[in-house]
Amino acid sequence: MADHQDLQQRLRQQPELIPSFVEEALRLESPFRHHMRSVPKDTTLGGVDIPAGATVLLFWSAANRDPAMFERPDEVVLGRPRRHVAFGRDIHYCVGAPLARLEARVVLTVLLKGTSSITLDPDQPPRWVNSLLVRRHEPLPVQLIPR
């Protein structure tokens, strides 16, 4: 969002779109990168045979940007139906997902309401944590321009 002033202004003018933006942010940058699963019996997934005893990695970023599921998968599309798997699915769904969504909506609402611009600090570019499990920035220095 810090790189897209037009998107920020749209969210300031239409705060009812903030929940949709949160869902797109989750879809584009899921908090977890993957989950590992053991395959209990021979199976086929997506046309690929997987033998019993194999270990598979479920990469959420691949699923959440699958062009067969999402038109313009690398873009923020406000109002897109929520079909991502950022918090898992079914019995493996994150119990904290509703709280995480609420926190994100509240923080973004307050930040957008109290600022005229949010930008990245040009002197301190963001750095991703070097992790196979989580997807987050080490520091994320931003500049908040008050209203």
Q: How does pLDDT run across 110-136, given as a tens digit for each residue? A: 999 999 999 999 999 999 999 888 889
Question: Is the per-residue pLDDT at 18 higher than 90?
Answer: yes
What pLDDT was estimated at residue 4? 95
| Cα–chain center distance at 144 | 22
Q: pLDDT band for position 89 (50/70/90)? A: confident
Q: Mean pLDDT, the chain, as a whole number? A: 94
What pLDDT was estimated at residue 132? 83
Helix/strand/coil percent split, the chain, to 5? 35, 20, 45
Q: CB 117: neighbour CB atoms within 10 A?
A: 14
Distance, in Å, from the CA atom of 142 to the CA atom of 121, rounded to the nearest integer, reads 5
Written as one string, the DSSP assignment of 15-66 is GGGHHHHHHHHHHHS-SB-EEEEE--S-EEETTEEE-TT-EEEEEHHHHHT-
DSSP H or E segment with residue 114: helix 97-114
What pLDDT was estimated at residue 56? 94
